[in-house]
Amino acid sequence: MREHPVSTSAHDRALDEALADLAPRRRRPARSLFEWLIVVLAFLATLAVIGLLGVLLVERELARRIYPNISVRGVPLGGLTLEQARRSLERRYGEFLYSPVELRYGGQTWRPSAEDLGVRLAIDEALTAAFAVGRGDTRASNLRVAAAVWEQGFDLPLRLEVDQRALQRYLLGIAASVEAPPADAAVWLAGGQVLVEPERWGTQVLVDQTLQDLTAALQGLERTPVELRTRALEPRLRDAAVAPAVEELRTILGGPVVLTGSSGGCAQGCRWELTPEQIAEWVTLRRVLAADGSPTITVSVDQSGIRAALLPVAAAVREEGTLPRVAWNDGALLIAEPGQPGRGLDADQALALVSAALYGAPRTIDLPLEPIPPPVTEANLATLGITSPIGVGVSSFANSEQYRITNISAGARRMHGVLIPPGGSFSFNAQLGEVTAEHGFVEGYAIIDNRTQKEWGGGLCQVSTTVFRAAFFAGLPITERHEHAFRIGWYEELGEPPGLDAAIFTPYNDMRFTNDTGGWLLMESYVDLQSQRLTVALYGAPTGRNVTYDHRVIERTPAPTRPVYVDDPTYPRGYLRKSDTARGGISVEVVRTVRVGDQVIAQDTFPTVFKPWPDIYVRGTGG
């Protein structure tokens, strides 16, 4: 680089000019300082005005905002208007207000709202407090507070309000859906079935404790799970206490109880079944307290129910003893032939066997029997009340053949000393029994198949007719009576009208009457071989009955003129015998009237139709 030299004169001139310029200044120092002071003051005044304007602008802006570095429960609100601050708090605690807590129990979940629980955040109160920070009575104190807040910050609390009554109401609503009372174990019978209901534990919500947990959880202002506090409620009657009764019932109703017997009306054997349904009706279940004070179930079987069930069984197997033969003995009754004891159900033993069967013993029972005394013995003979004759029947068997007299005597013996109980029905055939040689009967002629022929017991109709007459004149109801096929002279020899006869033919035609006197009757029969008469007398308590009768002939029919021949292969050919003599027929009615005093208590009509009878010949047709 090329350097250009400067002349000394030029340099000097420049220096002189600069010094010339400085010379006057040095001569005016006071004026310059004042001017500078004016400038500085003007500058400072400007700055003060600007600062004041800035402060005024800041104060104006902060007048509607929360001062900086202020927060509510950790949420910064400095520099925000109240509305902005409100939105900020609501955003922060919105989820909490929507669902403050989560209640849980047994897989169920409830998320109540703040309104459901009576919960409220005092946001307005917190905002008011935040806005008031630094806005006191004096500017100086406000500046000090603002400076402290700016330096240290200031966090205000957010108060939580909880309506305990609303919270309790909500919990009680949940409790209503959760709580359940305990259920005792139960057992009952449905027919023959045992039904069991097991115990069920109950649940109780502990409202007060849960309320405390909820109140504590709400303080965090965060959704918090809270377990619903409950306690189990024990049933009073437990399964274990019911179990023995259930087992006992299943044993009792384990099947039918079968009863068998073979006596009395069940001579061929009878079978009865006590079903579980029937047995169940005798069972009673009772709830009682055990020795330790706890409840339990007892089972009892009504013994009277078993006895009632055995009553028809006892009646079926009862085999009555026979009545004794009794002698009238002029009113001083004597037992001529004792009655035989019978058999009946031993009720006490049968009851014990059935009870044992219900509790595991064999359930098939052969009914136990015990002897029972005859209905009438010397001990109670005098109580029968037999004191007077009440009816007598008489018939003649004059000129009868010996076979007939023998059978009349044997039949009369069967009717002698016979007792007839009150209300009893007398059956001639039943009292007569088997007509055999062992009972003193012989073969004789009787009317069979519309002709007279030999038969065991020929002549017994003399006895049935005389018994009929005794009952007739005693005023007793005659319940069965059959007339003879044709008219027989023996039954009219003492002046009796036709129609006072009664034919029997065992076991078909019977003669029956009923003892309606209300007391016992005694029948005796007397055979007078000398006068050839049969008498049957009935004795009992006096009845006051008076019996009268009338008879009338309705129609007479002449005897047939043509004989009848009956072939009999038991006789050889050429044999011919006349067995029946022709006689006319007659239709009559006997009317009986029974009175007690002047009052008619019964009136009966006994119709009789005697057929016309031809000569009958027996003709042999044998080889």
The torsion angle over the Cα atoms of residues 485, 490, 493 and 496, rounded to 10 degrees, is -40
Q: Is residue 198 part of a domain?
A: yes
Q: What is the mean pLDDT of residues 82-97?
A: 93
Q: What are phi and psi of 565, to 5 degrees?
A: -110, 135
Does the pLDDT at position 309 exceed 70?
yes
Global pTM reads: 0.59
| Confidence at residue 591, expressed as pLDDT on a 0 to 100 scale | 97
**Domain co-membership, 218 together with 263:** no
Q: Is residue 64 part of a domain?
A: no
**Domain co-membership, 226 together with 308:** no
Q: What digits encode the pLDDT tens for the residues 584-615?
A: 899 999 999 999 999 999 999 999 999 998 88
Q: What digits encode the pLDDT tens for the residues 330-365?
A: 999 999 999 999 999 999 999 999 999 999 999 999
**Domain co-membership, 390 together with 367:** no
Helix, strand, coil content of the chain in percent (nearest 5)? 35, 30, 35
In angstroms, the Cα distances linking 38 to 27, 29, 47, 52, 493 are 20, 15, 14, 21, 195
Q: Is residue 98 part of a domain?
A: yes
How many of the other CB atoms lie within 10 Å of CB of 508? 8
Q: What are phi and psi of 381, to 5 degrees?
A: -60, -40
Q: What digits encode the pLDDT tens for the residues 526-539?
A: 999 999 999 999 99
Distance CA 136, CA 147 (A): 13
Q: Read out DSSP for 346-362?
A: -HHHHHHHHHHHHTTS-
Q: Is residue 555 part of a domain?
A: yes
Inter-residue contact 527 to 409 (CB < 8 Å): yes
**Domain co-membership, 297 together with 402:** no
486: left (phi over 0), alpha (psi -120 to 50) or beta: beta
| Confidence at residue 9, expressed as pLDDT on a 0 to 100 scale | 45
Q: Is residue 231 part of a domain?
A: yes
Is beta strand 119-121 parallel, antiparallel or unpaired with respect to 154-156? Answer: unpaired
Q: What is the mean pLDDT of residues 285-308?
A: 95
Does the pLDDT at position 447 exceed 90?
no
Q: Read out DSSP for 548-611?
A: EEEEEEEEEEPPPSS-EEEEEEEEETT-EEEEE--B-EEEEEEEEEEEETTEEEEEEEEEEEEP
Q: What digits encode the pLDDT tens for the residues 153-211?
A: 899 999 999 999 999 999 999 999 999 999 999 999 999 999 999 999 999 999 999 99
| Confidence at residue 207, expressed as pLDDT on a 0 to 100 scale | 95
| Confidence at residue 401, expressed as pLDDT on a 0 to 100 scale | 85
| Confidence at residue 58, expressed as pLDDT on a 0 to 100 scale | 53
Distance CA 425, CA 510 (A): 12
Q: For residue 281, give the CATH number of its domain.
A: 3.10.20.800
Is beta strand 224-227 parallel, antiparallel or unpaired with respect to 230-233? Answer: unpaired
Q: Is residue 465 part of a domain?
A: yes
**Domain co-membership, 444 together with 542:** yes
Interhelix angle 207-218/164-178, rounded to 10 degrees, is 130
The torsion angle over the Cα atoms of residues 230, 236, 242 and 243, rounded to 10 degrees, is 40
**Domain co-membership, 311 together with 348:** yes
Q: How many domains does the chain have?
A: 4
Q: What is the mean pLDDT of residues 277-293?
A: 94
| Confidence at residue 55, expressed as pLDDT on a 0 to 100 scale | 53
Helix, strand, or coil (residue 475): coil
Domain end call among 332, 351, 372: 372
Q: Is residue 270 part of a domain?
A: yes
**Domain co-membership, 508 together with 551:** yes
Q: List beta partners, residue 103.
A: 110, 226
Does the pLDDT at position 569 exceed 60?
yes
**Domain co-membership, 326 together with 344:** yes
In this structure, of 45-49, 174-178, 214-218, 457-461, the range with the lowest mean pLDDT score is 45-49
Distance CA 79, CA 61 (A): 9
Helices (H), ranges, 179-225: 207-218
**Mean pLDDT, rounded, of the chain:** 89
DSSP 138: S
How many of the other CB atoms lie within 10 Å of CB of 24? 8
Q: Is residue 26 part of a domain?
A: no
Q: What is the mean pLDDT of residues 58-80?
A: 84
Sign of the CA dihedral with 208 first, then 210, 213, and 219 last: negative
Planar angle of CA 193, 199, 300, nearest 5 degrees: 45
Domain end call among 372, 401, 418: 372
- E strand intervals along 222-291: 224-227, 230-233, 257-261, 270-274, 283-289
**Domain co-membership, 89 together with 149:** yes
Could you tell me which residue, 451 or 91, shows the higher pLDDT? Answer: 91
Range of the domain at 215: 194-239
Interhelix angle 123-132/82-98, rounded to 10 degrees, is 150
**Domain co-membership, 484 together with 508:** yes
**Domain co-membership, 448 together with 308:** no
| Confidence at residue 454, expressed as pLDDT on a 0 to 100 scale | 63
Inter-residue contact 488 to 447 (CB < 8 Å): no
**Domain co-membership, 524 together with 549:** yes
For residue 497, is the peptide bond before it cis, meaning its omega torsion is within 30 degrees of 0? Answer: no
Domain end call among 339, 372, 405: 372
**pLDDT band per the 50, 70, 90 thresholds, residue 110:** very high
For the record, the structure tokens of 47 come out as: 């700055």
Does the pLDDT at position 2 exceed 50?
no
Q: Is 465 exposed, middle or buried (0-12, 13-18, 19+ CB in 10 A)?
A: buried
